[in-house]
Structure 1
Amino acid sequence: MTISTSNNWNSAVYQLSKQGQAYVLVTLVGVSGSTPRNSGTKMVISKDDIYDTIGGGHLEHKTIKYAQKMLAVGKSGQHLEHFQLGSNLGQCCGGNASVLFECFAAVGVNIMLFGAGHVGKALMPILTQLPCHITWVDSRNEQFPNNIDTFQNVRQVVSEEPKREVANMPENSYYIVMTHNHQMDFDISQAILKRADFTYLGLIASDTKWRRFQQRYKHRDIDPTQVARMNCPIGLKAVSGKLPIEVAVSIAGEIINIYQAQKAHQLNENTSKSSKSPSTQQGVHWQEIKQLLTAQ
């Protein structure tokens, strides 16, 4: 973990949110006595970096450790922790600090789109409005639109060998393969199939192209159960049409259908667990906030 001096906490929040990374926003919500920083001071802790400071020392050390535990759990949530700087942390200032931890989980849907052709350009504005982080890959830099920087949840990658980018994606990613080259499509899809940890793999192809790819997968000893998981032809069958925007809407609809089904499944699991738990409280209890306000 490194300390970043180039970004303050608010620019860090913007960048981490744009990249879909998990982070914890730490705020001193109440201080009394002698403390290193004033109430309202913030810092941000991500998996690999620290942005800004709440004053250093043992308080900040303990704060970072607690934030790392929240990140390891991988769920969004809030927690209020009270520290006595003298007796508990051994800091000479000897005051008290109440620290609010706000954990923002990583974006659940990570998409890698291969191809910046007509369909890719039509699809991207739709995907950018969804709760996902997108990596857009093409070997041709000139194919990307000039306004790509306006898409806050998109990372552009220019690669001579797009298949190598597959290794950079987390588990359970979504892959959309539709480059300008059939061999490139095959190499990319083969790399994804070998990983065997994708949530979605959609390949744009004619019937002839798809049959040839299936035969080639067999000759490369690709697990047939993984091939069976592929979405080819790509997109929802109920949405027909060959115009780029029609194909794009079909693909987006298929992806939305899959991640919404996953979200519903996770919600049912969490509800089932909560019903068995003696407490279903989330976030900071109101009594803690009341005590904090009256102590000011």
Structure 2
Amino acid sequence: MTVWLEHLSDVSRSHTDHVIVTLVNVRGSAPQEVGAKMLVTIDGLRYGTVGGGKIEGFCIKHAMEMLQSKSPPFMGTYNLQTEIGMTCGGEVSVFFDTQYFSTWSVAIFGAGHVAQELCRVMQTWSCQLQVFDNRKEWVDKLPDSFNIKKVHTENMASHVDGLPDGTYLMSLTQGHAADVPVLEKALQQHQRFSFLGVIGSKMKGEKIKGELRNLGVSEDALQRLHCPIGLDFGDNTPPEIAISIAAQILSYKSKLSDKLTGTLWSQVKKDKTNADGRINFECPYENGQYRLTFEIENYFKKQNLNPFFLAVPVAFNIMDVSRKYHVPLLLSPYGYSTYRGS
């Protein structure tokens, strides 16, 4: 049992999706007793047994398919002779208990004082964290953790293209000269990222945005850039700056996350409706699911009305990018005020 718990602890701490396969009932002859269990990951059997041979191979294959399709827990009853192909004529019931970890990607460029503290906070999160710096001594100082990948590189910007879609990207380098190449590369493909931020003052932010404009970065992309990064609390010490950044990331992630399905959304664009109540999105769409959120609390407040509607999300599918889509919204709380947008 001690070895079993060690393996279970390993996959849990490393946030590895897995299935606990347990023999819960036996009728007639079977190669194992009730309670036999094994641990299966997407790579196959990790530890344990439910009887070996054909029954075990069948259960491992089924568990791996469940992980591949993100299936919920399941219990099946099988005749060992007719369904599994074994000579013994018993019947077994097997419970497949799936365990999934909702991992998400974070990239930090720069491994200085704030990044060191931020990694100590984020190493406890269910994220996969990559940290890049051209100073080996600072990379080596980063905490050792299963979810932190330390990358010593002379060209940090060259790693932006390889980041997963939906990554939360932060530039915490030693100065804006090192920030700009990373941010230029990231903002050229800003739709791929859930968050883009850079450490520094408002003055530094304006200077960086000016340089990025001169490099051809669009205004839509620059609107995505958070500078200064972090929520406005605490003092100017690295630990408290790190906490403020961590709080902002979690706050932003919460707004993009669907609490019911666990889906994590990446922000494509944020804009204001025109005088006709419309927004014209000029974005490089791809087929897939989208969510349009109308944030309308301030609309009613400006009319000195107590806002009944705060925000209205509308989720929809784009199946053909060559077509045009119109998503209308008409709200009339209590019959005395109307919000119209599309």
Pair in the same fold by TM > 0.5: yes
Structure-2 change in CA distance of 1:44 and 1:260 (3 Å): same
The structure 1 residue matched to 2:63, chosen from 64, 67, 79, is 67
Does residue 178 of structure 1 match 2:191?
Answer: no
Q: Which amino acid aligns with 1:261?
A: K
Amino acid at match of 2:181: D
Task: Output the CA distance in 2 between the equivalents of 1:97 and 1:218.
Answer: 67
Letter in 2 for 1:197: R
Say whether residues 1:119 and 2:138 are aligned partners.
no
What value does the CA root-mean-square deviation take over the aligned residues? 3.3
Return the letter of the residue paired with 1:189.
L
Q: Does 1:192 align with 2:186?
A: yes
What residue identity is the alignment partner of 1:255?
A: I
CA shift in 2, pair 1:130/1:52, >3 Å: closer
Letter in 1 for 2:41: I
Q: Decide whether aligned partners of structure 1 residues 118 and 224 sit closer, same or farther in structure 2, where only a CA change above 3 A counts.
A: same
Q: Which residue identity is paired with 1:111?
A: V
Q: Which residue of 2 is the match for residue 79 of structure 1?
A: 74
User: CA offset at residue 36 of structure 1?
Assistant: 4.5
1:241 to 235, 252, 271: 235
Q: Give the CA deviation at 1:9.
A: 6.9
Instruction: Trace 1:101-180 onto structure 2 (pairs within 5 A).
Output: 101-144=96-139, 148-149=143-144, 151-180=145-174
1:51 to 46, 61, 69: 46
After alignment, is 160-169 or 177-186 more displaced? 160-169
Q: TM-score, normalised by structure 1?
A: 0.71
Summarize the Cα distance change of 1:40–1:117 in structure 2 as closer, same or farther, 3 Å threshold. same
The structural deviation recorded for 1:233 is 1.2
Q: Is the alpha carbon distance of 1:18 and 1:112 closer, same or farther for their aligned partners in structure 2, counting shifts above 3 Å?
A: farther
Q: 1:255–1:159: structure 2 CA closer, same or farther, 3 Å change rule?
A: same
Asked if the contact 1:112/1:136 (under 8 Å) is kept, the reply is yes
Structure with greater helix percent? 1
- 2:38 counterpart of 1:42: yes
* Counterpart residue number, 2:219: 224
Q: How many residues align?
A: 258
TM-score (norm 2): 0.63
Deviations 1:62-85 (A, max 9, x none): 43443344334447x422222222
Match of 1:286 in 2: none
Displacement after TM superposition at 1:244 (Å)? 1.2
Identity across aligned pairs (percent)? 28
Higher relative contact order (CA 8 A, sep 6+): 1
Q: In 2, are the aligned partners of 1:22 and 1:107 still within 8 Å (CA)?
A: no
**Aligned-pair distance for 1:255?**
1.2
Q: Give deviations 1:178-230, integer Å, cap 9, x for gaps.
A: 02253432232233334422111221133444334324433444453233122
Please list every run of 5 or more consecutive structure 1 residues that lacks an aligned counterpart in the other structure: 1-7, 271-296
Q: Is the 8 A contact 2:102 2:126 kept in 1?
A: yes
Residue identity in the other structure for 1:172? G
Q: List 4+ stretches of structure 1 deviating above 6 A.
A: none
